[in-house]
Amino acid sequence: MKNCNWGIAGTFVCIATVIGTQVLANSACDANDSLTIISATDDGLFDDIYGPHNVIDGVTDPTSRWSNESLGAPKSVLLDLGAEQTLKGLSIAWYKGNERATRFNVEASVDGDTFTTIVGDRQSGGQTLDLEDYAIDPVKARYVRINGNGNTSNDWNSITEVVATGCGVAVEKPDQPVITEKLGSGLFGLDPAKTPGENFDLTGWYVTTPADDDGDGKADSVYENELAAGWTDPRFFYTDPATGGMVFRVTPAGAKTSKNTSYTRTELRGMLRKGDYTIETRVEGGYPNKNNWVFSSAPLSARAASAGVDGKLTATLAVNQVTRQGADGQVGRVVIGQIHAKNDEPIRLYYRKLPKNKYGSIYYAHDPEVGKETWVEVIGGRGNRIPNPDDGFALDEVFTYEIEVKGEADGDQIIPMLHLKIIRDDGTEIVAKPFDMRDSGFSVEDEFMFFKAGAYTGNNTSPEPETDFDRVIFYALDHSHDPAPEDGPALEMVAAVDPISTEPARPGVVFEDDFADGSRASGSESDSNWWTTSSSSAIEIATGSLGLVSGGSGRGIRTTFSPQALSEGQTLKATFDFNTPDTIGTDRDSAFRIGLFDTLGRPELEGDLSASSKQPNPLYDGLPGYMIDFDIGLSDPAAANINVRKHKQDTQGRLLGTTKGYQGLGSGGAPYQFEPKTSYTGELAVRKTSDGIEISGVLSKNGEVVSEFSHLDEGSDVNSFGMLAFHVNSKTFGSSKTKDTPDNGLDFTRVKVEVLH
């Protein structure tokens, strides 16, 4: 049996009666009376005192209303009926309902997760302050959601009272209303009075800034627990007082991750350990651990060892300022999001606005572990003189990006796919074509990933580096991953040293060759053997000098030595004294190259091995190492700098004869210009640090430094070196490419390699 009576708070209810042990459910519901609404809530971004609980207080006075501004997206008030009821009607009294019409729709749900539209998109009548009735086909519902999208006068959504009608079970109205916590007064509910760690969940991040407050010559970092507890820096990382957003400010003049590293940053690094400092940031050798994530295409051993599989980074932000001065190829560009791997980046997402353009472009670089870097333009272009991109983003314009890696099945193979979506504040989506990363070299056991977000400048050439800056404000930031497998085979971790040299390098001289014996062979313990890397005519020997014959062609020479596996804090330095010929070429960019490489135990490298663009030699492929190069005779001497490059897993078949197989890491140093018939000393050094490998280049004349530059290859696990090589491009030093003729190249008078501690 059932009894239907007026219940609490004027609600008409039908209650099932118990016959023995059986409860008879209400099978008919003919009444259409007022239903109890136990709470009304919203996203906490309501205006001032006009919270959502006001719509169910029985008062239609304008001072008792709900008001929430759309700001480009609908705003909702959620009503809880306290139990599943049969909903038949809804009445809404609109604030200023006699002056304007409000755009809205209504949805209903039984479980609060899945909603069905019960009143489609429409407008209120705009004629009355009283309740307006909206008929509904009877529907089972516990939750009712009213979605407003502004009115005919502005973007506000304001309701003074809501009444739901129907029938169902008895529900008691709470003595005290449920009050929605009001979020901050800034954008997206952020509080301008709170620190970034209070407005955002930063337990899974650490931050690096251009500060060097501890004086160690490197950019400072603040780790998860301190950051989440409220750390700020008013110079580089703080809360925007107007919007409550998280500000990342970076100047080219700041400290870098190492002294003279190419570019500065104020940037977060994802830390899946979330403050558990017993878990290392990264594992020696570049293997996944519980602080980092991997692709779903990685081996099961890597997935099980990681903290997550695949991943999605979502950020809402606005770029407020970009650099306006400096080299054409650098001005106005800033990296706003990344996936960083062990050595390279599956994606570096750039915003770039040229000084004369109204809008900025968005593009990204895919820097693989294997193969060449690829650039993908998404909005506008990345060129130095592109016209204004009409579909681009202005400074201060809010937008959202989503960077995601998802594995897609292709038969028995999982293909790692890179996805990028840009969302404007009006909801418009720009979706980049998915990028296939199956051949990028990341789906292996000794790779791992982490997200980065912030402001990583792409300009180190501004003439006013203290005041020319990039600033990016984030309003939302989140990253997520699929869970890692609970179990899998153990990682087959291999020591990150050369297999033929298991002992750490010992401080001291490795070799010092002054060519006094007039031979390119090793004549004593201090000598070294010298081999050709290009043409067999590249070497010319005389007592006291070793000639690199390169006047009219590009040629190279090299020497091998006992592999040096560096320990942390050790430096391998090559010093070379040389004399320039009578003739110096003009406009020879990056034309003098010096490199240190791991030989990977290849015995064939201890001999002459020619290579050219037409006849590449695969023995030069994939040798881990670095090179520096010098510019020769540039028409603008001020543009001459020292470049640092990293040898990649390329298939060029040439060692230093091309830069195509290298990743450019950075460039800098004081301007210089080579003079004819002059003696110089050069240095190439690699130092192993706790953060990676620092590569340094120095050029000196008469005992005084002319130019110097260094760069930290952050996270690098290259630490064994057994070969030094030199290369000079054609028409750079000298006018002849023939041996035993004047003016045919460089003459080295001393080459020294040593280990420093």
Give the model's confidence band at 1: pLDDT under 50 very low, under 70 low, under 90 confident, else very high: very low
d(CA 471, CA 334): 9
* pLDDT(215) > 70: yes
What pLDDT sits at residue 128? 96
Three-state DSSP state, 258: coil
Rounded average pLDDT over 492-509: 63
Rounded average pLDDT over 347-372: 95
Give the model's confidence band at 254: pLDDT under 50 very low, under 70 low, under 90 confident, else very high: confident
Give the model's confidence band at 48: pLDDT under 50 very low, under 70 low, under 90 confident, else very high: confident
Check: CB of residue 623 under 8 Å from CB of residue 600.
Answer: yes
d(CA 728, CA 2): 98
Higher pLDDT, 450 or 504: 450
Rounded average pLDDT over 9-16: 35
Side chain identity at residue 47, one-letter code: D
What pLDDT sits at residue 651? 67
Rounded average pLDDT over 333-362: 96
* Pairing, β 293-294 against β 308-321: parallel
Q: Tens digit of pLDDT for each residue in 562-619?
A: 899 998 889 999 999 999 999 999 999 999 999 999 998 888 888 888 888 888 888 8
* pLDDT(325) > 70: yes
Check: CB of residue 240 under 8 Å from CB of residue 473.
Answer: yes
* Pairing, β 555-565 against β 531-532: antiparallel
Rounded average pLDDT over 320-349: 96
What pLDDT sits at residue 194? 94
Q: Tens digit of pLDDT for each residue in 106-123?
A: 999 999 999 999 999 999
Give the model's confidence band at 552: pLDDT under 50 very low, under 70 low, under 90 confident, else very high: confident
| Residues contacting 583, CB < 8 A, separation 6+ | 551, 676, 733, 734, 735, 743
Three-state DSSP state, 347: strand
Of 549, 566, 613, nearest to 748 by C-alpha is 549
Q: Which two tokens stand for residue 392?
A: 């681009």
Three-state DSSP state, 158: strand
Q: How would you classify residue 537: left for phi > 0, otherwise alpha for psi between -120 and 50, otherwise beta?
A: alpha
What pLDDT sits at residue 502? 42
What pLDDT sits at residue 20? 31
* Pairing, β 745-756 against β 571-579: antiparallel
Q: Give the number of C-alpha atoms closer than 13 A to the C-alpha of residue 293, restricted to the C-beta side.
A: 27
What pLDDT sits at residue 165? 96
Check: CB of residue 53 under 8 Å from CB of residue 106.
Answer: no
* pLDDT(267) > 80: yes
* pLDDT(16) > 90: no
Q: Which two tokens stand for residue 754?
A: 């040593």
Check: CB of residue 381 under 8 Å from CB of residue 396.
Answer: no
* pLDDT(272) > 90: yes
What pLDDT sits at residue 13? 37
* pLDDT(27) > 70: no
What pLDDT sits at residue 65? 97
What's the sign of the alpha-carbon dihedral 650, 655, 658, 663? Answer: positive
Q: Tens digit of pLDDT for each residue in 370-400?
A: 878 899 999 999 999 999 999 999 999 999 9
Rounded average pLDDT over 439-465: 95
Rounded average pLDDT over 736-757: 92
Rounded average pLDDT over 520-531: 80
d(CA 500, CA 605): 14
* pLDDT(425) > 50: yes
What percent of the chain has pLDDT above 70? 94
Report the first-to-last Cα separation within the chain, whole angstroms. Answer: 92
What pLDDT sits at residue 576? 97
Q: Tens digit of pLDDT for each residue in 643-661?
A: 999 998 766 788 999 888 8
Give the model's confidence band at 235: pLDDT under 50 very low, under 70 low, under 90 confident, else very high: very high
d(CA 453, CA 578): 45
Give the model's confidence band at 7: pLDDT under 50 very low, under 70 low, under 90 confident, else very high: very low
Q: What is the pTM of this model?
A: 0.56
Neighbours of 424 (CB within 10 A): 16
Neighbours of 701 (CB within 10 A): 15
What pLDDT sits at residue 258? 56
* pLDDT(497) > 70: no
What's the sign of the alpha-carbon dihedral 671, 676, 679, 680? Answer: positive
d(CA 682, CA 724): 13
Check: CB of residue 307 under 8 Å from CB of residue 282.
Answer: no
* pLDDT(10) > 60: no
Rounded average pLDDT over 36-63: 94
Check: CB of residue 14 under 8 Å from CB of residue 169.
Answer: yes
Rounded average pLDDT over 445-460: 96
- pLDDT mean across residues, the chain: 90
What pLDDT sits at residue 602? 87
Give the model's confidence band at 164: pLDDT under 50 very low, under 70 low, under 90 confident, else very high: very high
What pLDDT sits at residue 9? 34
What pLDDT sits at residue 261? 57
d(CA 342, CA 367): 12
